[in-house]
Amino acid sequence: MPFLFQGSHQYELLKHAEATLGSGNLRMAVMLPDGEDLNEWVAVNTVDFFNQINMLYGTVTDFCSGDSCPVMSAGPKYEYHWADGTNIKKPIKCSAPKYIDYLMTWVQDQLDDETLFPSKIGVPFPKNFMSVAKTILKRLFRVYAHIYHQHFDAVMQLQEEAHLNTSFKHFIFFVQEFNLIDRKELAPLQELIEKLTTKDR
């Protein structure tokens, strides 16, 4: 059963998040709603960010190939190698589309795992849930970073920049609110993060 099926508590939480987002106040939208479980709130939002990033990357896949992006990078200073700890234990250098394919498949497997992301009410989250969620979000950030650094021209050409910026801003406010990604991991987009977040202090 998918984690966010209609009528579930998770689905209601997502609806709450969307309603708050509609108010335009992202700082408010990411706060833990009264009486809600932090793990569940992080889980619902992680699933939502995964879906958003999948869609956003989908808009630029024509521009992201093994030829145009032979390594997974975010500008000249940051390069990412893939390892998932099970199938690929030692980090491998691969093209951006291959890396993102590995990444999205790996995240989907985590989200589909009922022991990690329980969809039934009352089933507890595992003790290691937060560390799994942090790893997922850290890796999803890399897709935003790749899109901004390598494909922003394409995003502008497709007139998707407002959509990308809103999604990324929401993501950043969320990970900042619950301290989910180390600051050093955010370095490839630090200037943009400062620009997007200072307006709302």
Binding residues for Zn(2+): 64, 69, 146, 151
Residue at 146: amino acid letter: H
Helix H or strand E encompassing 80: strand 79-80
Q: Are strands 79-80 and 72-73 parallel, antiparallel or unpaired?
A: antiparallel
Give 190's contacts (C-beta < 8 A, 6+ positions apart): none
Binding residues, by number, are 64, 69, 146, 151
| Structure tokens, 89 | 């234990």
* Structure-token match 């699933």, residue found: 47
Number of residues written out for the chain? 201
| Structure tokens, 188 | 């490839």
C-beta neighbour count of 9 within 10 angstroms: 15
First to last CA, the chain: 39
